[in-house]
Amino acid sequence: MTDNSNPVKLVVPRRHGDPRGWFTEVYSEPTFAALGVDCRFVQDNHSLSQPRFTLRGLHFQVPPRGQDKLVRCIRGRIFDVAVDVRRGSPTYGSWVGAELSAENGHQLFIPIGFAHGFVTLDEACEVTYKCSDTYAPEQDGGIRWDDPAIAIDWPIPARVTPELSAKDVVQPLFSEFDSPFVYDGRPLQPFV
């Protein structure tokens, strides 16, 4: 299903199909615990992004209200990204990304200590995600989606400016970010 040693996990649930369609189990506590995911999810979020190339991110909540997230796209396609923001990590500032779509059913688990963002690749994309803590506006944080120090290879055509929230337009640069997150001994690894 995924690499257990990687803190960020690309999860590919099995789909069981027949002439009616398919069935998949998107979350099971024992299955995820076997993958090294031992958080408890307490909030589900659902977003709709109408325009293609809507970009949401890069977001996180700081301790003591950090959030693990399990993200999936249930309509359309997105490119989902996690950036290592754990102070002392040998992969600090590195990122991984994957296409999540309603068609492929893939999910991304993003633990506390990683900034999260995504860009929609289709119109009218719907994204759902589980969080291990409720939203705490006073603990909300972010960094610039287009920071050259991070250099995320967003799949956005040249000369296209993504749709951004007012908050995401003014997020600080990575160099201005004083990380409260601590490295846990597991470096970020690329997906195989």
- Which residues make Cβ contacts (< 8 Å) with residue 151, sequence separation at least 6? none
User: According to the model, what pLDDT value does residue 3 have?
Assistant: 60
User: According to the model, what pLDDT value does residue 2 have?
Assistant: 56
- Which residues make Cβ contacts (< 8 Å) with residue 161, sequence separation at least 6? none
1 has a pLDDT exceeding 70: no
Compute how many other C-beta atoms are within 10 angstroms of the C-beta atom of residue 99: 15
User: According to the model, what pLDDT value does residue 192 have?
Assistant: 78
CB of 106 closer than 8 Å to CB of 99: yes
The residue segments making up the domain with residue 111 are 9-15+24-176
129 is catalytic: yes
- Considering 27, 129, 135, 183, which one is annotated as catalytic? 129
Question: What is the domain count for the chain?
Answer: 1
- Considering 59, 92, 106, 183, which one is annotated as catalytic? 59
2 located within any domain: no
State mean pLDDT over 22-35. 93
- Residues 32-63: pLDDT tens digits? 999 999 999 999 999 999 999 999 999 999 99
- Which residues make Cβ contacts (< 8 Å) with residue 56, sequence separation at least 6? 47, 49, 117, 118, 119, 165, 168
1 located within any domain: no
- Residues 159-190: pLDDT tens digits? 999 999 999 999 999 999 999 999 999 999 99
Question: Domain containing 96 — which CATH number?
Answer: 2.60.120.10
Read off the tokens for 162.
């993504």
183 located within any domain: no
Q: Are strands 43-49 and 125-131 parallel, antiparallel or unpaired?
A: antiparallel
109 located within any domain: yes
Bond before 55 cis per omega within 30 degrees: no
